[in-house]
Homo-oligomer: A and B are copies of this chain.
Amino acid sequence: HLPFMLFAGPCAMESREHALEVASAIKEITTELGIGFVYKTSFDKANRTSLSSARGVGLDDALPVFAEIRETLGVPVLTDIHERAQCKPVAEVVDVLQIPAFLCRQTDLLLAAAETGRVVKIKKGQFLAPWDMKNVVKKVTDAGNPNVLITERGASFGYNTLVTDFRGVPTMARDTGAPIIFDATHSVQQPGGQGGTSGGQREMVPTLARAAVAVGVAGIFAETHPDPDNAPSDGPNMIPLHLLKQFLTELKEIDALTKKRQNLHFFAE
């Protein structure tokens, strides 16, 4: 068992300087702690609650920054794609293509991502059961790309609320063989909960992340920002960057216990 990996970064790319600064800061922390790190940021927020919300710098401006982060910092990069046509150009400069949760059933997008040969990280739709992900993953692996990661990010629970069912972690791992990543910051989102934008419960991130690591996830996804309250999107649920080290230190301890077990999830038959 490898120790857990971290996928982290600001929700949306704000500028080249901001991206490099945050990537560099996270790299320093994860290197010190001995945790693998993939930088995540979005070039476009394609499904904001409202039309007037900020969307990001766009594909053309983001690609050179992704390339620069990989080259200068030696950090692998993840971003999310929303349409088939984005897969190929994005795959040239990033290591992991992420399929957004709302789009996880869009066959053509999954196939286009699969064809790039890059790692495809699929967020489980809020409307799917854990056992539904088997068919989703199969769309990518049947297309010849075995490099799939699944992300758990909560299920719809009544209105404007998500709940994380941690039984999904061993279920999806068993059904698909894919590593399961827990998205600790979107799982505390309150979609649409603030009228024109989504709310969030930032204070609950450590609670759910601790649970996820104890349950045996392969990695943690967490959006982080030097100043979440002034971030263009997802501020209410992002982790303040200055707390990241303490957050990861606690998780790493639990992870070490978890990973030494042979048969973590189920009672021996």
Contact = CB atoms under 8 A, between A and B. Distances in A.
Given A49-B135, A159-B158, A257-B254, A166 B164 contact: yes
Interface residues of A, number: 75
Total copies of the chain: 4
Nearest to A239: B267
A207 interface: yes
Interface string A252-269: 011001100100111110
A205 interface: yes
A35 B60 CA distance: 50
Contacts of A163: 155, 157-158, 163, 165
A3 interface: no
Given A102-B103, A166-B164, A201-B167, A132 B49 contact: yes
Nearest to A251: B214
Contact of A203 (B156, B188, B266): B266
A126 interface: yes
Contacts of A48: 105, 107
Interface string A183-202: 00000100110001000011
A153 to B, nearest CB: 11
A16 interface: no
A213 interface: yes
A15 interface: no
Given A102-B106, A127-B191, A211-B211, A157 B157 contact: yes
